[in-house]
Amino acid sequence: MKNTPPPLIIEPSSEVRSAVIWMHGLGADAYDFEGIISFLPTTACGIRMIFPNAPVRPVTINNGFMMRAWYDIADANLKNTDQTGIAESMASICGLIDEQIEAGIAAEKIVVAGFSQGGAIAVHTGLRYPKRLAGIMALSCYVLERQRHTAEINKHNTNTPIWMAHGTYDNVVPYALGESSAAFLSQNGHNITFISYPMAHEVCPAEITALSTWLTEVLG
């Protein structure tokens, strides 16, 4: 996307055999989750960690303040979606996946992941990508554009493992929305793991341990 810094890319100390593309949340940037790397199986699974930056755009719910956002958010109910912004971000992430495949990493060894807005884009993109991916990791987020889901998902990723986690005290993306999103995906035939944690809109040590185990399962 125009005027957006390149992704932060961190190579494993072992041979590169897989990749995780991890999208940050609203107002954050590519460095937001850099500190989590030491807790992930990057060496064991040969994971190239890729942290892209969202473009800077006005965000309506924040009085039009300019910040990094994968799409605009109009109001707190999260139902009025920015279809243009979502489509642009999906195209950008698909481009990153394509680059990794061209670099020699099989699609089946690529995970798309994200937190909050980034998690929503991970689910949206992963289920529409035209090649089978290793998995989708979605933290403290929700499903975008449910009404278009069935018509747009790609058959190659119908059964792709989706690991979702959400804080029961989340006051930014309500827990009920995360729970209903997981139920929606499950009801539509997707392979869902949904775990709740007693936390707010954040990540916690137990969650990091669990997602590390999951990454080992899908990329090991």
**DSSP of the chain:** -TT-PPPEEE--SS---EEEEEE--TT--TTTTGGGGGGS-HHHHTEEEEEPPPPEEEEGGGTTEEEE-SS-B-STT--SB-HHHHHHHHHHHHHHHHHHHHTT--GGGEEEEEETHHHHHHHHHHTT-SS--SEEEEES---S-GGGHHHH--GGGTT-EEEEEEETT-TTTTHHHHHHHHHHHHHTT-EEEEEEES-SSS--HHHHHHHHHHHHHHH-
pLDDT on residue 184: 97
pLDDT on residue 154: 94
Please indicate, yes or no, whether the overall pTM of this predicted structure exceeds 0.85. yes
pLDDT on residue 77: 75
Query: pLDDT tens, 49-61?
Result: 999 999 999 999 9
Average of pLDDT values for 78-93? Answer: 90
Average of pLDDT values for 188-206? Answer: 98
Can you say whether the dihedral through the CA atoms of 98, 100, 106, 107 is positive or negative?
negative
Just list the catalytic residues. Answer: 116, 170, 201
pLDDT on residue 1: 59
Helix axis angle, 117-126 to 83-102, nearest 10°: 60
Q: How confident is the model at residue 2 (pLDDT cuts 50, 70, 90)?
A: low
Query: pLDDT tens, 31-74?
Result: 999 999 999 999 999 999 999 999 999 999 999 999 999 999 98
Question: What is the dotted CATH code of the domain comprising 8-219?
Answer: 3.40.50.1820
Strand-by-strand arrangement of the 47-51 sheet: 8-10, 47-51, 18-23, 110-115, 135-139, 161-167, 191-197
Query: pLDDT tens, 96-138?
Result: 999 999 999 999 999 999 999 999 999 999 999 999 999 999 9
